Structure 1
């Protein structure tokens, strides 16, 4: 099948290529009759604009990339849906990559998306992402980047974050109000701001309620089910069993719950649990897990809106941070039987 070009249309109508181009671009210096004839002929011949040529001419691919740590947690797919909703309305396609919680894979994903000539990136850092050098270079070069959820505050770029501190405080307060005395926090990975913010909320809830606090109540863990299982096994091995656990996220809480149940503990009678992120697993596990829900779709929309603003900005773009709120969904895993 022959690919019809504007040269074919010009030859058919015996006019110049520049006249055909002006008709397609709706220029003011072409009369309406000629323009209508060009458009009619183009349709008859089955002409379609060459998207690659258009992108090269405009120096834009109309494609953005998004990199997430994992797909197991429903949070990230919901964010992606939000990104796509905004991007598609603006005429952009979305390329999606997963780092699988690995910094090297994350970096390879970024380079692959750069090679695909994406106009900008939306990124949630992997649990291993501590080296910010490559990101610093990209940001200094003016390449549009927006980080969300898992961000690094050393990076001077736009960020969409959740009020992790406030909701971690509320989640811990819920356990305190239920009457739990010895509460442990399974902390997320170092170097990621949300880990520190959730830990800070946990600590300040104790201070607010004049509870004695010891740093031994904070156990560095991670973000995966394996991390939760490992932490729970260590707690059982030491014999220092708390009566409640507030975990950095749902997978960690669920991993720990599994181990305690396997070792004969009753939830919440022997030990209570609260997670974070409101994954689908939270409602499936038995008993259902109390968790803080985040507006994942809205996070995706906000990230896409800011990224496209930066891509299309005619002046130097000033980075900004947007902080969103959520809610605490209380379920059987943390409700103390009176």
Structure 2
């Protein structure tokens, strides 16, 4: 590209612009309180106090300063203020993904509560990658967040990257996917009880060969506790535990649900019930079953987890376990705010359990008329 400068003018190819033209891109310089002070012939300290509605400044001066600030395009430098106060009034959120309905609802709950209290929210995604989680945790720490809410990545087994927050008395709340051995706040459901309820529901519908999609590792509590509930429900009702009916998943995606369902439904003796770790994989199971000629629920009863919107759209309607995502988000943010407002030593091993229920729909109601 050929550029030629002449006094007060610039040529760009065949386009002529005068420097006084509104289309000429001038250097973008932020307006400061010193610029406002210079314009109004006031001290910078007066400008600063007026912008904060300080009682020592007259209402007339406050209005005058704010009008000038608006006219000049002044924006408060939040980062500079946070460096001085070491507080940003920002809550960091680190979750596997924002595309899952459960997690997007969780984030919504966090934002509702944080914004009411005057806090901003920074959202990052690990995409279930341990390394991405480590990198995002470091970025949030360097951003001087006031508190962190996190749901662990599927790959995570070492949680030492969260210790940097604890060392600086930055409250950390683990929600839903929480580590077994990390002393901090935790907001979760009773995953063992939820897994037991889901499995017993299928048993009460007459299922005797119940499969389970098992996701994640034994390090996290979420899927391992649901699996324990599944196994104990079988034991309680004297049903055999068949290892070929427990299919491990690396991710709780539709594709993994298809893969696991195809394995199960091509067995010589296929299951008559499936307990799935989320609604997405359960929907995959319904659609694979229908393709292979199985009737749902007559031949195969299916129950999912989360009560995502898709559970009400799929035919037949998907039975599921309710998972109070928005309430979990609100509760997590409330814990952060309570910690920040408290002048007393906080009990950072607090665990908050929220209730779940079986929501029975057509996909599992084998005994319905």
State the Cα deviation string for residues 180-231 of structure 1 (Å, max 9, x = none): 1111221121122111221122122223334344555433234222222222
Distance 1:263 1:44 in 2: 70
Structural RMSD (CA): 2.7
Deviation at 1:244, TM superposition (A): 0.5
Higher relative contact order (CA 8 A, sep 6+): 1
Query: Displacement of 1:17 after TM fit?
Result: 5.0
Question: Which structure has the larger Rg over C-alpha atoms?
Answer: 2
CA–CA separation in structure 2 for the residues paired with 1:2 and 1:150: 42
Unmatched tracts of structure 1, length 5 or more: none
Specify which of 295, 300, 308 is matched with residue 266 of structure 1. 295
The answer to whether residue 222 in structure 2 is matched with residue 194 in structure 1 is yes
Q: 1:308 to 1:2 in 2, by over 3 A?
A: closer
The answer (yes or no) to whether the contact 2:137–2:161 under 8 Å persists in 1 is no
User: Counterparts of 1:103 and 1:90 in 2: how far apart (Å)?
Assistant: 31
User: Which has the higher mean CA deviation after the structures are superposed, 110-119 or 265-274?
Assistant: 110-119
Q: Which runs of 5+ in 2 are unaligned?
A: 1-28
C-alpha deviation, 1:25, in angstroms: 6.1
Residue 74 of structure 1, CA deviation: 1.1
- Which of the two has greater helix per residue? 1
Asked if 1:220 corresponds to 2:248, the answer is: yes
Displacement of 1:297: 0.8
Report 1:1-338 matches (<5 A): 3=31, 5=33, 8-9=36-37, 12=40, 17-18=44-45, 30=56, 35-46=58-69, 50-52=76-78, 53-190=80-217, 191-222=219-250, 223-319=252-348, 320-337=350-367
Q: Is 1:67–1:124's contact at 8 Å kept on the other side of the alignment?
A: yes
Q: What is the rounded CA distance, in whole Å, between the counterparts of 2:168 and 2:300 in structure 1?
A: 51
What is the distance in 1 between the residues matched to 2:183 and 2:95? 20
Counterpart-to-counterpart distance in 2, 1:160 and 1:294: 12
Q: Give the 3 Å change call, closer, same or farther, for CA 51–90 of structure 1 in structure 2.
A: farther
Shift of the alpha carbon at 1:299?
0.4
Q: Distance in 2 between matches of 1:194 and 1:57?
A: 40
Shift of 1:326: 2.3
Greater shift in the superposed pair: 135-144 or 17-26: 17-26
Q: TM-score, normalised by structure 2?
A: 0.80
